[in-house]
Chain A
Amino acid sequence: MEPLTPAVFHILLALADGENHGYGIMREVAESTNQQFVMGPGTLYGTLNRMLQAQLIEECGERADPNLSDERRRYYRSTKKGLEAAVSETQRLQALLRLARSKSLLKRPRTT
């Protein structure tokens, strides 16, 4: 399976705990990356669209979020294929990290 883009992987991680709406996904990704990865609506919904087409996620109805306003929001959840993709990506990154550690990259001083 080819590597996932960071946006796709972060969204799958955010949905690993259960379904969520777009703004909730964005907030969870932003919090879990310490505000390093904050997706605007263009990036988020473009990525969600591609993931829907690739059947990594699916829509699961609309309802209000009691923690936000009373507007109805479109909810998404991972599919089985999406969960498998997230697991594969995690294993790929684990293998890369093991390789980097074997080269002692994390212990080397930065050159810049």
Chain B
Amino acid sequence: MSLSERVYRLLLMAYPSKYRREFAEPMAQHFRDQLRAASAENRLAGFWFRTLTDLIRTVPLRHLERFAPRHGNSQFTDDARQAIFFARSEASSFARPEISREHLLLGLLRSDPTLRSTLGPRGVEDVVGRIESAEAGTRRVPPMETLPLSQECKIAAGQAIKEAAKTGDSRVSTVHLMKAILRQDTTLAARILRDCGLDQ
């Protein structure tokens, strides 16, 4: 086994164990095939970059598929589900018992590149700073734990589902989640989005 494959197999440990049992071997085989092709074309640097970004993008999604509610799994786009996954991680990093709309907003920032580019680097820093100040605590490395949505966050998710239905979209996207946050206009998350120039 090559050193590259050993490294890749170590990285595969980041996936959930059940998923690894099923797919680690074909994934390692696929990696070997792509590595062989990339070596022959002298494109190893690009190959490793693509492999690592593929891992970084898909590991959270596989973990999210374990924690997402069974009945609602396909209602959300991949980006929206990733936002909820990241929101859980944000809530956990602040040692909160449930996910708030502000954590959901942080999750949206991490999963939606359009939102990040609309706000710009300063806008993103401002949003994160304001939410961190409101949390008034130091962050910790988030353990992998299941956290529920707060009641207000559940209402926002419900409104996002209705918004998607109203516009004829079959799945709830990050845009629907943002519009749902904006609807609850007395909340910190909605005020932050409006202060950044985003509204309904």
Nearest CB of A to B14, in Å: 10
Query: Interface majority SS on B: helix, strand, loop or mixed?
Result: helix
Which interface residue of A42, A43, A49, A68 has the most chain B CB atoms within 10 A? Answer: A42
Contacts of A38 in B (CB 8 A): 50
Q: Is A71's CB under 8 angstroms from B54's CB?
A: no
List the one stretch of B20-28, B116-124, B185-193 in contact with chain A.
Answer: B20-28
Q: Is A5's CB under 8 angstroms from B78's CB?
A: yes
In the complex, the number of residue pairs spanning A and B with C-beta atoms less than 8 Å apart equals 57
Q: Is B22's CB under 8 angstroms from A49's CB?
A: yes
Q: Is A2's CB under 8 angstroms from B29's CB?
A: no
Q: Is A45's CB under 8 angstroms from B51's CB?
A: no
User: Which residues in window 46-86 of B have CB below 8 A to A?
Assistant: 50-51, 53-55, 57-59, 61-62, 74, 78
Contacts of B29 in A (CB 8 A): 22-23, 71, 73
Q: Is B26's CB under 8 angstroms from A74's CB?
A: yes
Nearest CB of B to A98, in Å: 18
Q: Is B57's CB under 8 angstroms from A42's CB?
A: yes
Nearest CB of B to A61, in Å: 13
**Contact string against B for A residues 24-50, beta-carbon threshold 8 Å, 1 for contact and 0 otherwise:** 001000000000001111111110010
Contacts of A22 in B (CB 8 A): 26, 29-30
Please pick, from B26, B54, B171, the residue contacting A2 in the complex, using a CB distance under 8 A.
B171
Nearest CB of A to B67, in Å: 15
Contacts of B54 in A (CB 8 A): 39-43
Question: In the complex, A74→B29 CA distance in Å?
Answer: 10
Size of B's binding interface in residues, CB under 8 A: 25
Q: Is B30's CB under 8 angstroms from A46's CB?
A: no
Contacts of A40 in B (CB 8 A): 34, 50-51, 53-55, 58
Please pick, from B26, B34, B53, B78, the residue contacting A45 in the complex, using a CB distance under 8 A.
B26
- Do A46 and B61 form a contact, CB below 8 Å, given A23-B29, A23-B30, A41-B27? yes
Nearest CB in chain A to that of B58: its residue: A42
Contacts of A39 in B (CB 8 A): 54
Nearest CB of A to B106, in Å: 24
Question: In the complex, A24→B19 CA distance in Å?
Answer: 21
Residues of A within 8 A of B (CB): 2-3, 5, 22-23, 26, 38-46, 49, 68-69, 71, 73-74
Provide a sorted-by-A list of 14 A–B residue pairs whose CB atoms are within 8 angstroms.
Answer: A2-B74, A2-B171, A3-B170, A5-B78, A22-B26, A23-B30, A26-B34, A39-B54, A40-B54, A41-B51, A42-B57, A45-B26, A45-B27, A49-B23
